[in-house]
Amino acid sequence: MTTSATTGGDVVSDIRVPRAEITGVYGALVKRFSRKMLGEVPESLEALWHHKPVLKFGFGIGQKTRRWHACDEDLKSFAHMAVASLIGCSFCLDLGYFTAHNDGLDLTKARQVPRWRESDVFTPLERDVMAYAEAMSQTPPTVTDEQSARLHDALGTPALLELTAVIALANYYARNNRALGIEAEGFAASCGLPPLARPSNDLRSA
């Protein structure tokens, strides 16, 4: 079953599972949290509502990672968005840009992540982080000893471990969304932000 709807001027289409009505006490909490965080209840939550333990897992682990502070927030944001761009998760890119805006991160750089290889706004360390994120996201991963050593020297052990975990979780979210057909819902547009740059090897039409 597929669905189609319009939210914030963007079309959400081809979700591959039926949407469910979010009800009950936990449902009220989910909707209140979503509206506080995003300003609305994403239609993707209506699809995930069919399996609440899966929904709770995604919510819970996402909130726990926000309490990690060994690695710079901009670096983690760039890494997450690099994963989303490589995999073709428009929902993650849209949400990532929206979150970067709300968290006061570097928006000029955030919107260039999908084309980071051609952009001149990133530092060598930021480029190493995004290359590491892409290498981790290949099947099989293509991370090299040299990549890991450079990041370890620049960041230290705790930050590298945190960055690696964030990239792994970004793969979880992006691959889930891509497989289920969950697409952008206009979060960035709702803030009046300019469109995201598109990668030169955009996979979303694949």
Contacts of 178 (CB under 8 A, 6+ apart): 87, 88, 89
From the CB of residue 24, how many other CB atoms can be counted at a distance below 10 Å?
11
For residue 130 the two structure tokens come to: 């995004």
Q: What is the pLDDT of residue 46?
A: 92
Q: Are 199 and 114 in contact (CB under 8 A)?
A: yes
Residue 106 CA to residue 118 CA, distance in Å, equals 18
Crossing angle of the two packed helices 73-87 and 90-102, in degrees rounded to 10: 160
Predicted TM-score (pTM) of the model is 0.85
The residue extents of the domains of the chain are: 4-65, 73-190
For residue 170 the two structure tokens come to: 């970004």
Burial (Cβ within 10 Å: 0-12, 13-18, ≥19) of residue 34? middle
3-state class (DSSP) for residue 6: strand
CATH H superfamily, domain 73-190: AhpD-like (1.20.1290.10)
Q: Per-residue pLDDT tens for 56-113?
A: 999 899 989 999 999 999 999 999 999 999 999 999 988 888 888 878 888 889 889 9
Helix (H) / strand (E) containing 205? none
Q: How confident is the model at residue 177 (pLDDT cuts 50, 70, 90)?
A: very high
Q: What is the pLDDT of residue 1?
A: 31
pLDDT beyond 90 at 4:
no
Q: What is the pLDDT of residue 205?
A: 39
